[in-house]
């Protein structure tokens, strides 16, 4: 679906030009067009346009607003007031559209979607990652101590605490990865002797934290959140429930949503809520550089379907179900396929917030597949319990976690680049007066970013030379969908996604390093100018202090000398003579 198709469907379709062979009178309407026109006409007969009646509550206010915006009145009303009137008119029109949406036939595919009764989705797990470069290392130490993740490690036979393992790994003398903590709810029933208990959202079953060391200066902490039965089935329940037209507010404006768009909004928001719970828990329990910059962490969730197999290239019915899966936030499937031999029979799908408005960030990815197809192609699936959804999530957990770190590095560079841009764009407003405090703040920000960029760049380059991928990292390939391949004469070869990500990361590191050098030169100039300005200000203040001291001393002499021939007495006599 193209970007133009992202807008809500129009109620009246435009006329098409006459095709060759049509009569001179015009285009011969097709039965489908007659059906659409009839439905539109019927809807407008039941609910006329706003302002066409006097009986509805919004007609009279709309007529008044329209009256104020027409003819000579718009010339004397200030522009800000006119914009407000126009905005109120549009908001009122949304109530009219909502009323008309409610009379549409629920079976009309132009205004609703129908989830097959035998199709269900299960979300067994969510993976979210936080990164700790040198500037965030102290945060990780405090998180380990604050949450008590070392309290029961001795029960599993671990000889060292998390802090000791962390220090050794960052000195390149420890493990590349280790299990940091296992966390369940205070009322949980899992048998985890070395685990800890904490208050978790009811949608969470338990959380397993894994630390991964990249070089010496970057530690990644990945949380595998296993959802409870409530959390795993919540998305499916919302997906299947009937959706009625609704009003929502977006960017400060009211929008009327018909049944289809209401279904998109409610279902995607339900999925986004689970993501927000995961990110919120990470921010509160183990906040790193993403938390410091108030930036969303990179996240992957797993969606297991009962019937539809997205990897079945012989089945083209998924195009007919586009709206059904769009409600879940799965939209980027028509052009590219992201597949991995390490996770067979599943597709990786990026999220496009412009197509899935209920999901707030493009740092969200979905790994989806059909349950039986994944089970049949999986190896070593035993030992994870009787629930196949949970078993799939745990079987491929290591591959997902390592790949997630690769994605997160790209998002880290994006966050750092945004921070540099913010410093640059606000430099004139914040540092125009060359105050010492502001210059010190600028120096601290640039120093922190410089250390992080230089350290992570060096560690990643060394890591890429010694090993082509992280431990157990799933390797994905990006290729055109089979439908696009079949309909076009494309010669492009599939792209190795991991290699392409590292290539772009290297380019971005070079750009950030060059930008850092430029900003440091600017900082040196600003500091020199600030020192000169401060010296001049200090000189002026010294002159004022000396002048005030002279005045005070003179007044003191006058007041304290109170003899008959004192200066004070002479002045008083002079004033009396004038009076």
Taking only the tens place, the pLDDT of each residue in 7-64 is 343 333 333 333 333 433 333 344 444 555 777 888 888 999 998 988 899 999 999 9
Is the pLDDT score of 311 beyond 60? yes
CA distances for 36 relative to 1, 161, 212, 340, 400, angstroms:
21, 68, 57, 43, 46
The Cα 287–Cα 272 span in angstroms is 20
Split at pLDDT 50, 70, 90, the class of 396 is very high
- In tens, the pLDDT along 75-85 reads 899 999 999 99
Is the pLDDT score of 509 beyond 50? yes
Mean pLDDT across 517-524: 64
- Give the per-residue pLDDT at 111: 82
Indicate the range of 393-402, 509-518, 551-560 predicted with least confidence.
551-560
- Give the per-residue pLDDT at 28: 39
Of 399, 143, 132, 172, which is closest to residue 286 (Cα–Cα)?
A: 143
- Residue 409 or 216, more confident: 409
153-156 contacts, C-beta under 8 A, 24 or more apart: 153/194, 154/194, 155/193, 155/194, 156/193, 156/194
Strand spans (E) along 299-363: 299-305, 336-340, 347-350
- Residue 524 or 366, more confident: 366
The Cα 403–Cα 471 span in angstroms is 9
The Cα 219–Cα 376 span in angstroms is 36
Indicate the range of 19-28, 29-38, 304-313, 420-429 predicted with least confidence.
19-28
- Residue 338 or 578, more confident: 338
CA distances for 217 relative to 171, 179, 212, 458, angstroms:
8, 19, 11, 9
- Give the per-residue pLDDT at 152: 74
- Residue 291 or 107, more confident: 291
Is the pLDDT score of 565 beyond 70? no
Split at pLDDT 50, 70, 90, the class of 106 is confident
The Cα 415–Cα 452 span in angstroms is 12
The Cα 21–Cα 27 span in angstroms is 10
Is the pLDDT score of 513 beyond 70? yes
- Residue 177 or 522, more confident: 177
Is the pLDDT score of 373 beyond 90? yes
Please state at what angle helix 436-466 crosses helix 397-425, rounded to 10 degrees.
150
Model's pTM, two decimal places? 0.81
- Give the per-residue pLDDT at 126: 98
DSSP calls for 124-141: -EEEEEEEE-GGGHHHHH
**Percentage above 90 pLDDT, the chain:** 45
The Cα 375–Cα 393 span in angstroms is 11
CA distances for 168 relative to 130, 171, 177, 186, 489, angstroms:
20, 5, 12, 32, 54
CA angle 225, 120, 259 (to 5 degrees): 105
Q: Residue 112, class by beta-carbon neighbours within 10 Å (0-12 exposed, 13-18 middle, 19+ buried)?
A: buried
Is the pLDDT score of 179 beyond 80? yes
Indicate the range of 21-30, 121-130, 368-377 predicted with least confidence.
21-30
Q: How far is CA 489 from the centre of its chain?
A: 36
The Cα 141–Cα 286 span in angstroms is 10
| DSSP run (H or E) holding 61 | helix 59-68
Please report which residue ranges of 71-126 form alpha helices under DSSP H: 73-76, 79-103
- Give the per-residue pLDDT at 140: 93
Chain position carrying tokens 């002479």: 570
- Cβ neighbours of residue 299 under 8 Å, at least 6 residues apart? 126, 127, 128, 129, 275, 278, 279, 363, 364, 365
Mean pLDDT across 378-401: 90
Q: Please state, rounded to an integer, the average pLDDT across all residues of the chain.
A: 82
- Give the per-residue pLDDT at 35: 54
CA distances for 110 relative to 16, 40, 459, 475, angstroms:
19, 11, 53, 39
- Cβ neighbours of residue 151 under 8 Å, at least 6 residues apart? 196
Please state at what angle helix 567-578 crosses helix 497-560, rounded to 10 degrees.
80
- Give the per-residue pLDDT at 304: 97
CA dihedral 514, 517, 523, 528 (to 10 degrees): -140
- Residue 174 or 238, more confident: 238
Is the Cα torsion angle 160, 166, 167, 171 positive or negative in sign?
positive
- Give the per-residue pLDDT at 1: 41
Q: Which two tokens stand for residue 3?
A: 């970007």
- Residue 558 or 432, more confident: 558
Range with top average pLDDT, 174-178, 443-447, 499-503, 552-556: 499-503
Q: Which two tokens stand for residue 63?
A: 């007529």
Tell me the pairing of strands 125-132 and 299-305: antiparallel
- Give the per-residue pLDDT at 27: 36
Mean pLDDT across 289-299: 93
- Give the per-residue pLDDT at 467: 61
- Give the per-residue pLDDT at 65: 92
**Percentage above 70 pLDDT, the chain:** 78
- Give the per-residue pLDDT at 191: 75
- Give the per-residue pLDDT at 301: 97
- Residue 291 or 216, more confident: 291
- Give the per-residue pLDDT at 577: 77
- Residue 537 or 291, more confident: 291
Split at pLDDT 50, 70, 90, the class of 564 is low
- Give the per-residue pLDDT at 29: 41
Split at pLDDT 50, 70, 90, the class of 5 is very low
Split at pLDDT 50, 70, 90, the class of 457 is confident
- Give the per-residue pLDDT at 476: 95
Is the pLDDT score of 90 beyond 90? yes
DSSP type of residue 191: -
- Give the per-residue pLDDT at 22: 40
Indicate the range of 27-31, 262-266, 314-318, 574-578 predicted with least confidence.
27-31
- Give the per-residue pLDDT at 70: 87
């Amino acid at each position: 679906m193209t970007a133009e198709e992202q807008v809500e469907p129009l109620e009246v379709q435009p006329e098409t030009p006459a095709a060759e062979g049509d009569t001179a009178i015009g285009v011969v309407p097709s039965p489908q067009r007659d059906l659409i026109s009839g439905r539109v006409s019927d809807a407008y007969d039941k609910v006329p346009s706003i302002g066409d009646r006097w009986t509805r509550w919004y007609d009279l206010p709309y007529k008044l607003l329209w009256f104020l915006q027409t003819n000579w009145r718009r010339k004397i009303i200030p522009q800000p007031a006119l914009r407000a009137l126009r905005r109120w008119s549009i908001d009122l029109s949304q109530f009219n559209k909502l009323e008309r949406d409610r009379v549409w036939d629920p079976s009309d595919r132009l205004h609703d979607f129908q989830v097959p009764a035998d199709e269900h989705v299960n979300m067994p797990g969510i993976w979210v990652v936080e990164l700790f470069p040198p500037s965030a290392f102290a945060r990780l130490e405090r998180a380990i101590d604050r949450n008590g993740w070392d309290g029961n490690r001795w029960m599993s036979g671990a000889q060292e605490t998390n802090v000791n393992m962390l220090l050794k790994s960052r000195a390149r003398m420890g493990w590349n990865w280790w299990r940091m903590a296992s966390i369940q709810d205070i009322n949980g029933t899992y048998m985890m002797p070395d685990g800890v208990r904490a208050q978790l959202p009811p949608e969470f079953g338990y959380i397993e934290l894994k630390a991964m060391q990249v070089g010496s200066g970057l530690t990644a902490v990945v949380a595998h959140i296993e959802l409870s039965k409530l959390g795993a089935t919540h998305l499916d329940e919302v997906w299947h429930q009937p959706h009625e037209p609704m009003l929502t507010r977006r960017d400060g404006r009211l929008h009327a949503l018909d049944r289809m768009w209401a279904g998109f909004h409610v279902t995607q928001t339900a999925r986004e809520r689970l993501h927000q719970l995961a990110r919120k828990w990470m921010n509160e329990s183990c906040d790193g550089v993403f938390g410091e910059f108030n930036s969303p962490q990179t996240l992957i969730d797993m969606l297991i379907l009962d019937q539809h197999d997205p990897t079945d290239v012989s089945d083209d019915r998924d195009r007919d179900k586009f709206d059904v899966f769009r409600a879940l936030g799965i939209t980027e499937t028509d052009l590219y396929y992201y597949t991995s031999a390490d996770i067979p029979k599943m597709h990786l799908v990026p999220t496009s917030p412009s197509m899935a408005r209920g999901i707030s960030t493009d740092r969200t990815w979905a790994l989806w597949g059909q349950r039986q197809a994944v089970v049949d192609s999986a190896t070593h699936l035993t030992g994870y319990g009787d629930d196949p959804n949970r078993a799939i999530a745990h079987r491929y957990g290591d591959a997902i976690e390592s790949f997630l770190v690769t994605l997160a590095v790209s998002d880290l560079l994006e966050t750092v680049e945004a921070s540099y841009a913010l410093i640059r764009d606000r430099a004139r407003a914040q540092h125009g007066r060359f105050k010492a405090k502001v210059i010190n703040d600028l120096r601290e920000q640039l120093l922190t970013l410089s250390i992080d960029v230089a350290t992570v760049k060096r560690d990643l380059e060394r890591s890429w030379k010694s090993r082509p991928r992280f431990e157990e990292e799933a390797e994905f390939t990006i290729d055109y969908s089979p439908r696009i391949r079949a309909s076009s004469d494309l010669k492009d070869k599939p792209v190795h996604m991991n290699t392409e990500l590292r290539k772009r990361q290297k380019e971005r590191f070079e750009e950030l390093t060059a930008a850092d050098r430029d900003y440091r030169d600017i900082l040196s100039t600003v500091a020199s100018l600030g020192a000169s300005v401060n010296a001049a200000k200090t000189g002026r203040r010294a002159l004022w202090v000396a002048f005030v001291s002279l005045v005070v001393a003179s007044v003191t002499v006058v007041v304290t000398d109170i003899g008959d021939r004192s200066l004070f007495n002479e002045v008083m006599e002079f004033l009396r003579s004038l009076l």
